[in-house]
Structure 1
């Protein structure tokens, strides 16, 4: 039987309606986190990269800034990553190419820079994954 006392780790502070709440223990076995459409600001926390069991992460439609954290490349079980419709800048980290289980990848409608990483699963993503301004390019899936 698993030792459940050791299946918790890390902490997160959330501010909801002006009230800061700290979750001191988060179960490591979380497989899905959906924090989309919450008007979150600031950078993507580096600690998310320590949630090794994570399969789906959706932080879309917020106001997140800064770079996509390289630590997301540690999420070796990740199947779906949605960071679309934020204010993210910089390049897509090369570490994400090593995510061999990832099937869904959305970073559209940010202010990211080219080049887009190549290889592994990145060869399978449709260009709609990157739709919007990417460096000096405007990528669109609309037909003229």
Structure 2
């Protein structure tokens, strides 16, 4: 399954976005998904490619679970814009690079799981990050 970048549109007083998903050669477009979503759980779907930067525009998210896929690239710094995020699970992917310092500004973050990736370097310092164990 391949995951494509969401596209955002504004209609009235609610923002909507659409997303294209390709599976076994068939492309499907899911339209009019409101950005007021509070939970996204795409765990265990065999998604490939990079995590879209535009996910950082979903300001209402409280939980983002993208674990057990085949996401590559780095952890998007735009995830630090998800100011209401309480739980972030990107575990069991193929992510590389460093954990962006922008994530340290997520003051509501209670659960962080970045394990079983190929990340390197130190954990960001400050705010919620001092509450997480190295196993995260």
Between Structure 1 and Structure 2, the one with more helix by share is 1
- Are 1:29 and 2:18 counterparts? no
- Are 1:47 and 2:41 counterparts? no
Alignment of 1:64-83 (within 5 A): 64-83=71-90
- Are 1:61 and 2:68 counterparts? yes
Structure 1 residue 50 displacement after superposition = 0.3
For residues 77 and 17 of structure 2, the distance between their equivalents in structure 1, rounded to whole angstroms, comes to: 18
SS in 2 for 1:73: helix
Between Structure 1 and Structure 2, the one with more strand by share is 2
For residues 25 and 72 of structure 1, the distance between their equivalents in structure 2, rounded to whole angstroms, comes to: 22
- 2:5 is matched with which residue? none
Larger radius of gyration: 1
**TM-score for the superposition, normalised by structure 2:** 0.88
Which deviations, in whole Å up to 9, do the C-alpha atoms of 1:61-112 show, x marking residues without a partner? 0000000001101000000000000000000000000000000000000000
- Are 1:117 and 2:132 counterparts? no
- Structure 1 residues 5, 17: CA separation in 2 closer, same or farther (over 3 Å shift)? farther
Structure 1 residue 9 displacement after superposition = 2.0
- Are 1:100 and 2:100 counterparts? no
Runs of 4+ in 1 over 4 A off after TM superposition: none
For residues 32 and 99 of structure 2, the distance between their equivalents in structure 1, rounded to whole angstroms, comes to: 30
Give the paired residue count. 126
SS in 2 for 1:128: coil
For residues 21 and 124 of structure 2, the distance between their equivalents in structure 1, rounded to whole angstroms, comes to: 32
Q: Which blocks of at least 5 consecutive residues in structure 1 are unaligned? A: 130-144
